[in-house]
Amino acid sequence: MELPAIVALADQHGRKATLAAVRAAVERIRARGAGAPARETSVESLVQEIGSILAGTPRRLRRVVNGTGVVIHTNLGRAPVAAIAASRAVELAASYSNLELDLATGRRGDRQSLLVDLLCRMTGAEAAMVVNNGAAAVLLGLAALCPRREVVVSRGEAIEIGGGFRIPEILRLSGARLVEVGTTNRTRVSDYLEACSDRTAAFLRVHQSNFRMEGFVQRPAVAELARAAHERGVLLLEDVGSGLVPPPTPAGAAEDRLSASSAAGVDLIFSSGDKLLGASQAGLVMGRGPLVEKMRRHPLARALRPDKLQLAVLEETLLCYEAPGRLAEIPVWRMLNSSPGELRARAERWALTLTARGVDAEVVPLEGAVGGGTTPGPALPSHGVLITTAQPGAARRLLLRGDPPVLCLERATGVAVDARCVLPEEEGVLLSALSAAFGGAA
Ligand SMILES: *Cc1c(COP(=O)(O)O)cnc(C)c1O
């Protein structure tokens, strides 16, 4: 540890990591045994070995190639954001910004007011705010608007999204009281009305994000529920989950709910930023001015506020939505709108390259998904390459340990990579990773 070369390494990598690398290198030398040639046990080679151990220390958070065909993959960080949005975040991360400074007056500003105009313009809402994520938006809304009062929820919508987000628990945590109405499969407007009393603050409607009920099912239309709520003088709140902003995509048409809900008279809408919207992690709140104002003034707002990088990405993504010519810059939008024909052509190119490099690859039809607790319904017909191998499980794990790691699909006869979610700039490294793992001749 006192050798000048090691001191220099400790300066770059930290004493603890360097000490661990020294121990690992010494262990390797011991394992090679006393008979190893002198050149392998010299101080220079030892220092070199320690240096390469340290240089190879992987970061915990790494770029991963998504070969699963699942567009919003929560394990993979949900939406990749537009390159332009990412570069805005980089620019603002490395400098000061006017996050809470009003440049017109020189006075203190409010980060919550930064994206209000954009969100209102897009959804037709009167007011808006941004918090850290979708769950935070629901929690803050209930805490600010319904404390110690009753909130009526359909039994079919008292759901769990995953990752511990359960509507009944969020309600309890917010200080509101849950009143469940209807049945799992059918809830009518009259069920909400019968539960309504002077203790009621709101009806809460929740998008059944990650499951679908079919058959003998019924839930009121949003506009109908809004009318009923307003007749009784209570609020209608809606957690739309994913909430794509128009123009709708073929795959996401059913998710085009923000403006629709706004137009139908919902008082307050909550939505996620990093699902179908394809932006940063964020919770969007859109609705009536006085309600949003109450949320902004609630003490929890400070605890749930978004940071400047989230806001930078969100702003740039929303601007892409406003310009039809820029929609294709949003990766999620592009992936959802890739036709099976385009995907097949891409997979054919990959198969040609891989075959030329000695990999046993062929084009296969696959089925992807929107994913991420968004639209549980339709599969996304897609194409990709299937690489034949005797041990698909081992092959899948091998690709995960590669650089970059590739997440693929395990099939009976091999592993498959769906073309939909592979970014264009990743094609080269993907094909190299696949050839390195499975290449024979070339
Ligand atoms: C995903 C989702 C949430 C949680 O949003 P996050 O941004 O993940 O916090 C809440 N409600 C619904 C209906 C969802 O689909």
Å from CA of 318 to ligand 1 middle: 19
For position 131, what pLDDT does the model report?
Answer: 97
Mean pLDDT of 290-319: 96
Q: Alpha helix (H) ranges present in 134-231?
A: 134-145, 167-174, 189-195, 222-231
Kindly give the pairing relationship between strand 65-66 and strand 165-166: unpaired
374: pLDDT strictly greater than 60: no
Mean confidence (pLDDT) of the chain: 90
**Which residue has its alpha carbon closest to ligand 1 atom 15?**
241
For position 212, what pLDDT does the model report?
Answer: 80
For position 30, what pLDDT does the model report?
Answer: 84
For 383, the enclosing helix (H) or strand (E) is strand 379-388
For position 195, what pLDDT does the model report?
Answer: 97
pLDDT band at 165 (very low <50, low <70, confident <90, very high): confident
* 29 Cβ contact list (under 8 Å, min separation 6): 36, 40, 41, 46
10: pLDDT strictly greater than 60: yes
Q: Measured from the CB, is residue 280 less than 6 Å from ligand 1? A: no
Residue entry with tokens 């969007």 = 284
For position 442, what pLDDT does the model report?
Answer: 41
For 294, the enclosing helix (H) or strand (E) is helix 289-297
For position 98, what pLDDT does the model report?
Answer: 94
Crossing angle for the helix pair 340-356 and 427-438, nearest 10 degrees? 40
For position 21, what pLDDT does the model report?
Answer: 93
Q: How many of the other CB atoms lie within 10 Å of CB of 352?
A: 12
Question: Which of 127-141, 202-216, 245-259 is least confident?
Answer: 245-259
The span from the CA of 192 to the CA of 178, in Å, is: 12
- pLDDT tens track for 58-101: 788 999 999 999 999 989 999 999 999 999 999 999 999 999 99
175: pLDDT strictly greater than 70: yes
Å from CA of 243 to ligand 1 middle: 10
The span from the CA of 103 to the CA of 109, in Å, is: 8
249: pLDDT strictly greater than 60: no
pLDDT band at 370 (very low <50, low <70, confident <90, very high): confident
pLDDT band at 246 (very low <50, low <70, confident <90, very high): very low
For position 255, what pLDDT does the model report?
Answer: 41
Å from CA of 160 to ligand 1 middle: 10
192: pLDDT strictly greater than 60: yes
Token readout for 1 is 């540890």
Q: Which of 204, 212, 239, 274 to mutate to test the pocket of ligand 1 (most atoms within 8 A of CB)?
A: 239
> Which domains can be identified in the chain, with CATH numbers?
4-55 (no CATH), 65-75+335-437 (3.90.1150.180), 82-329 (3.40.640.10)
Nearest atom in ligand 1 to 74's CA: 8
For position 273, what pLDDT does the model report?
Answer: 93
For 240, the enclosing helix (H) or strand (E) is strand 235-241
Token readout for 342 is 């385009």
Q: Are 435 and 354 in contact (CB under 8 A)?
A: yes
Total residues belonging to the chain:
442
Beta-bridge mates of residue 410 = 415
For position 40, what pLDDT does the model report?
Answer: 66
Q: Measured from the CB, is residue 375 less than 6 Å from ligand 1? A: no
Q: Are 202 and 152 in contact (CB under 8 A)?
A: yes
375: pLDDT strictly greater than 70: no
Beta-bridge mates of residue 222 = none
Q: Measured from the CB, is residue 331 less than 6 Å from ligand 1? A: no
Å from CA of 272 to ligand 1 middle: 6
Residue entry with tokens 């041990």 = 391
Cα 45 to chain centroid distance, Å, stands at 45
For position 259, what pLDDT does the model report?
Answer: 73
248: pLDDT strictly greater than 70: no
For position 34, what pLDDT does the model report?
Answer: 67
**Which residue has its alpha carbon closest to ligand 1 atom 1?**
241
For position 218, what pLDDT does the model report?
Answer: 92
200-210 burial, b at 16+ Cβ within 10 Å, e below that, comes to bbbbbbbbbbb
Q: Measured from the CB, is residue 88 less than 6 Å from ligand 1? A: no
Q: Measured from the CB, is residue 165 less than 6 Å from ligand 1? A: yes
For position 57, what pLDDT does the model report?
Answer: 75
Q: In 3-state terms, what secondary structure has residue 367?
A: strand
Beta-bridge mates of residue 165 = 162
For 12, the enclosing helix (H) or strand (E) is helix 4-13
For position 376, what pLDDT does the model report?
Answer: 60
112: pLDDT strictly greater than 50: yes
Cα 2 to chain centroid distance, Å, stands at 46
Mean pLDDT of 296-315: 96
Nearest atom in ligand 1 to 138's CA: 10
The span from the CA of 6 to the CA of 92, in Å, is: 36
Q: Alpha helix (H) ranges present in 94-156?
A: 116-123, 134-145
For position 80, what pLDDT does the model report?
Answer: 96
252: pLDDT strictly greater than 80: no
* 202 Cβ contact list (under 8 Å, min separation 6): 145, 146, 149, 151, 152, 229, 234, 235, 236, 237, 267
